[in-house]
Amino acid sequence: MSSGSYSRFSFLPDKNAFYRWWVNLAGSPAFQSWASAMPGTRRLARKDGEALFDLVSGFVYSQVLHAFVSLDMPALLAKEPLPAWRLAARTRLEPRQMEALCQAATALKLLKRRKDGDYQLGRLGAALPGVPGLSEMIRHHDVLYRDLADPLAFLKGGTETELARFWPYVFGQSGTNDPEIAERYSKLMADSQGLVAEETLRTIRLDGAHRLMDVGGGTGAFLRAVRAEYPELRLRLFDLPAVVAGAELPEGADMRGGSFRDDPALPGGADVISLVRVLYDHADSTVASLLGKVHSALPPGGRVIVSEPMAGGADPTRVGDAYFAFYTMAMQTGKARSAEEIKAHLAQAGFQQVQSHKTYRPFVTGVVTATKAA
């Protein structure tokens, strides 16, 4: 390139110059000190500082919640406020340690401290029993916390995670013939499925459907919710044999045992197939295979419903991208996908009229539906 050409291009604006200036400014201790003292910036500086400290302290907060739930504090305080020493006596903790837990729980709005020093349930603590399966999920999270103890090793794939052993069904049939494993999986799924079912049925309608088959539906929690809303709809559960053996189906529903990973096809006869918290447990190749089988099993005009927590895609979310993405990574087979990714999988499987639906509580679940061409 000639010197003339170089000089011509050297005057092009540097599109990253402002970004580098901003990063250097924000990372300057002198600027941070100045910003924290100036009336126009100190509120923002304080807010950012607190947010960063919350990230540092997040694990401790989660452990406070874990202890709060494990000690069944909502039940202990359901009838009356109590002082820390009485709570300590009922939980066999030392009074000093219980006082520390109560103070921490109060700071996190799980408890509220009264003027007389007693503790009562705060708004979040009182709401815990009202969220089906939440307490069991919190108790279960000690497994995930251990898997994330060394985050760099975890991200490099150098750790054998406990969560993969906790959910062996995601690898196929392996491990799921053990009744204890199947029962553990089924109970945790059933306890938390109610809220997902409620949110899904608020979002979509099943009017005009004749038979719904819930694939990977565990013990039938979603089907029980569907029966309450649509008493005339015929229902079918499809899941692993060891799982459906413990299912509690609504009256008139039938079940089929099998594996959508290993079986060459899904049972036919349903004009609606639901996949509730199924896709995010599995790799892209398994998802593609499953959706192909769903498409083949449906009649022309049949619908598929995908309901599960979703990532944010171009607009990352805390629940989808900072929680479920890592949870599914620890399972070693799953992946938190955005609604756009799920829509792309459905389109690739041959579905039409693929659309995502806005839910009331996106932190509980997102919903995507599609139709097989008539």
- Dump pLDDT digits (tens) for 128-141: 988 877 888 898 88
- Alpha-carbon span 57 to 353, nearest angstrom: 45
In this prediction, residue 318 carries a pLDDT of 94
Q: Is 256 exposed, middle or buried, given 0-12, 13-18 or 19+ CB atoms closer than 10 A? A: middle
- Alpha-carbon span 111 to 159, nearest angstrom: 37
How far does CA 133 lie from the centroid of its chain?
A: 12
- The region, left, alpha or beta by phi > 0 then psi within -120 to 50, assigned to residue 175 is left
Edge-to-edge strands, sheet with 352-357: 254-257, 234-239, 211-215, 272-276, 303-308, 366-371, 352-357
* Cβ within 8 Å of residue 341, ≥6 positions away: 311, 313
pLDDT level of residue 9 (50, 70, 90 thresholds): low
Average pLDDT over residues 212-220: 93
- Domain 135-371 in CATH 1.25.40.10: no
Token pair for 313: 């895609």
pLDDT level of residue 225 (50, 70, 90 thresholds): very high
In this prediction, residue 174 carries a pLDDT of 44
- Residue showing tokens 């007693």: 118
Residue scoring higher pLDDT (20 or 115): 115
Average pLDDT, rounded, for the chain: 89
pLDDT level of residue 236 (50, 70, 90 thresholds): very high
In this prediction, residue 79 carries a pLDDT of 95
In this prediction, residue 203 carries a pLDDT of 96
* Cβ within 8 Å of residue 353, ≥6 positions away: 369, 370, 371
Which of 368, 204, 187 has its CA nearest to residue 291?
368
Residue 352 phi/psi, 5-degree rounding, is -120, 175
Q: Where in the chain is the domain with CATH 1.10.10.10?
A: 29-132
* Cβ within 8 Å of residue 318, ≥6 positions away: none
In this prediction, residue 182 carries a pLDDT of 53
Question: In this predicted model, what pLDDT tens digit does every residue of 308-330 receive, in sequence order?
Answer: 999 999 999 999 999 999 999 99
Q: Is 50 exposed, middle or buried, given 0-12, 13-18 or 19+ CB atoms closer than 10 A? A: exposed
Q: Name the pTM for this structure.
A: 0.85
In this prediction, residue 171 carries a pLDDT of 56
Q: Which fold has domain 29-132?
A: Arc Repressor Mutant, subunit A (1.10.10)
pLDDT level of residue 173 (50, 70, 90 thresholds): very low
Q: Percent of the chain having pLDDT more than 90?
A: 67
Average pLDDT over residues 87-95: 96
* Cβ within 8 Å of residue 49, ≥6 positions away: 36
Neighbours of 144 (CB within 10 A): 18
Beta bridge partners of 254: 236
How far does CA 325 lie from the centroid of its chain?
A: 9
